[in-house]
Structure 1
Amino acid sequence: MSADIDGKSWDAEIIIFTSPSGHLIVNGFSDDGTAIKLVIDNYNGEGSYNFVPSDFNTFANWQDIDNSFFTYLAGSGVLEVTSDKEGEFGRQVSGTFNFTANNVNQGTITVNVTNGEFAADLLENQ
């Protein structure tokens, strides 16, 4: 997983993809204590999914765990799943994303996540 966070390049060292009943969840964790989480409710495979601020089942967030655990929830944005198929090592999903997120403690502080890309294998035993 990679993205630009407020214009700065960001890469995840660990990517986890799960798909519990009707959901798609993709987490990316970086060594610097930051993370991106993408959650889609009513997941139906490849296609476009909008992040809706009032829907806590379909959302994206940016977390800065090492900096007072700041969490930013998407106020707007989109996840495009470009591939969801069986691969050599099981189910694989990939796509793109972008979102603008507001700090949950200080709503006037925002983070712009652009040029997001991910590709991950399914974590089994759900």
Structure 2
Amino acid sequence: MKTIKKLTFLFFISLAIIACKSDDDGGDNPSNGEGSLTATVDGNSFESDPSLTQIQILNNGNVVAITGPKAQETIQFNINGYSGVGTYNMSPSNVASYGIVTDPNDPQGSAVAYVSISDGELNISEDTGSNMKGTFSFVGTNAEDPSDTVTVTNGAFNIDY
């Protein structure tokens, strides 16, 4: 349970950073890349904002963070022990999450994070060193209410970095 709470905290920090970036009127930051991240979330279409969708390579290439925000929603992956093209199963080290703010007037009080640490996978089919492509699916669980889940299917991404 501590792991889920820590991951939820990290998710909300990431969501706050993305929200701040979306308020920036300074134009595009070419170092952030651009791309697409699409999925079906509980039967509803999800398509990220291309200008905010990004991949970060951290810790000497061992960690990959993929973020695809859309208005008040975000799909995010954190892969530890990244070793290139391949399949990464969700685990305490490889985490997928879906977050939503249900009331934009109360972003803190209405934010819900659905985290997957066991039920899902991220398939990276191509990594050129400046672009990454792949597919994904996962079931995320609300850390505050384990009976509340979301199913993310038909996920695909193609992101420059």
State the TM-score, normalized to the length of structure 2.
Answer: 0.68
Instruction: Report runs of 4+ in structure 1 exceeding 4 Å deviation.
Output: none
Distance 2:102 2:53 in 1: 18
Give 3-state SS (helix, strand or coil) of 2:146's partner.
coil
* Aligned-pair CA distance for 1:34: 0.3
* Aligned-pair CA distance for 1:58: 1.2
* Aligned-pair CA distance for 1:60: 0.3
Question: What percentage of residue pairs aligned between the two structures are identical?
Answer: 27
Residue 59 (1) aligns with residue 98 (2): no
Unmatched segments (≥5 aa) in structure 2: 1-36, 104-109
Give 3-state SS (helix, strand or coil) of 1:107's partner.
strand
1:17 equivalent among 49, 52, 55: 55
- Name the Cα RMSD after superposition: 1.1
- Higher Cα Rg, which structure: 2
Greater relative contact order structure (CA < 8 Å, 6+ sep):
1
* Aligned-pair CA distance for 1:19: 0.6
Deviation string, structure 1 residues 21-66 (Cα, Å, up to 9, x no partner): 20111000002x00001111000000000001xx1x3100000034
Count of residues in correspondence between the two structures: 114
Deviation string, structure 1 residues 66-123 (Cα, Å, up to 9, x no partner): 441100001410000000004xxxx11110000001011111000000000011111x
Distance 1:58 1:48 in 2: 11
1:2 equivalent among 38, 41, 64: 38
Within 5 Å, give how 1:8-87 maps onto structure 2: 8-13=44-49, 14-21=52-59, 22-31=62-71, 33-52=72-91, 55=92, 57-67=93-103, 68-74=110-116, 75-86=118-129
- Structure with greater proportional strand content: 1
- Structure with greater proportional helix content: 2
